[in-house]
Amino acid sequence: MEPAERLKKIPPYLFMSLRKKIAAARAGGMDIIDLAIGDPVETPPQAVIEELCRRAGEPANHRYPLDEEKGMLAFRSEVARWYGRRYGVSLDPAGEVLGLIGSKEGCHHFVLARINPGDVVLMTDPGYPAYRASILMGGGIPHTMSITAANDYLPVFEDIPASILKRARGMFLNYPNNPTGACATTAFFERVVVFAGQNDIAVCHDNPYSEVVFDGQRRLSFLSVPGAKDVGVELNSLSKPYNMCGWRLGMASGNPDLIAAMSKVKENTDSGIFNPIQYAGIRALAGEEAAIDQMIGIYGRRRKIVLETLRRIGIDFSPPKGTFYLWVPVPKGMTSQGFAERLFDKTSVVTAAGTAYGQYGEGFIRISLTVPDERLAEAMARIEREFS
């Protein structure tokens, strides 16, 4: 049976392709170490798990979720308090916060809420592949803005053609950035607010790595900049700070008109988030900030292991200070895909080729730090043997 035309425009999803490759190799007896996918192996805080179990024992929580598509008001209120404590952002939980089944669905809802067929949506290159897919599924036209080390992996808005700006209605940004690890500045976000306001562009700042920063890097929310709520929304998630990836719990916050439009999309898409997961999310946001610091310590240790190994084999660079990824330049004379394939074939270590994130990802691979220490150390030992 012939699929819809919109699906033909969307390339295979990177991580599904990688999972199939890894499964096939393991089925063939290879000892694969996966450094490509950012899926933390540590569990959520025990108190969060216990709250889920306790709430799952309450019969009322097995009916349709409270407040249905918007998320429980209690959860949205806790999100607002968390934003106030962490970023100094004031949010009205009733009209400026929307519960999400993970922040990824927020990308889809943003496009469907804002973009008409033929509208242009700006996104960075390299960038998270799901943005492009969301744009295409919503009938929009993606336009990439190159980000490179030369401009601190921030887009240069002056480089966007005037003909594109006339048609642009939305923009995806993501800092700390996946895949580069780059962090934005307050000054950059101030420029975003002015640029978006002048060109009637709605901003979707995807911020799931907001807490994962190193070496004194300041945690930053787009919404902390004056005027941000006038031009956009910010997505966030409990996946990365609290190791709750599989729980699928996130939030969209910001401009009330966009939140209302996204809520209308959501109410016609699903029936909300399982109540016990929302209660567990409240527990995480309200009382488990120490778990964030613990994970930063773990990722910092792993980050050091990788960087020291890479230096010993001649790959010496100063990485950006965000996310639990490293954006690693490939050896001279090699392509991103060639280096990733050599690592897979010779060391059974899986990494993500930079070109999976766009043409400006050429010359890099992405390494994830979300594996146990001993497996990461083994992967580094294999790589060092291959390239020493």
Rounded (10°) angle between helices 373-387 and 336-347: 110
pLDDT at 2: 87
Domains defined along the chain, listed by start: 5-43+290-387 (3.90.1150.10), 46-287 (3.40.640.10)
**Which residues of the chain fall below pLDDT 50?**
none
The closest alpha carbon to 123, from 177, 198, 162, belongs to 177
Distance (Å, whole) CA 223 – CA 231 = 10
Residues constituting the chain:
388
Decide: 36 and 352 in contact? Cβ < 8 Å. yes
Looking at residue 213, the DSSP 8-state letter turns out to be: B
Looking at residue 261, the DSSP 8-state letter turns out to be: H
3-state SS assignment for residue 204? strand
Distance (Å, whole) CA 28 – CA 206 = 38
pLDDT at 13: 67
Token pair belonging to 62:
């097995």
Distance (Å, whole) CA 37 – CA 42 = 14
pLDDT at 15: 65
Element at 380 (helix H, strand E): helix 373-387
Q: Which residues of 327-358 are buried (b: 16+ CB within 10 A; e: fewer)?
A: bbbbeeeeebeebbebbbeebbbbbbbbbbbb
The closest alpha carbon to 253, from 44, 66, 70, belongs to 70
pTM for the predicted model, two decimal places:
0.95
Q: What is the rounded end-to-end Cα distance, in angstroms, of the chain?
A: 52
pLDDT at 33: 96
Decide: 223 and 234 in contact? Cβ < 8 Å. yes
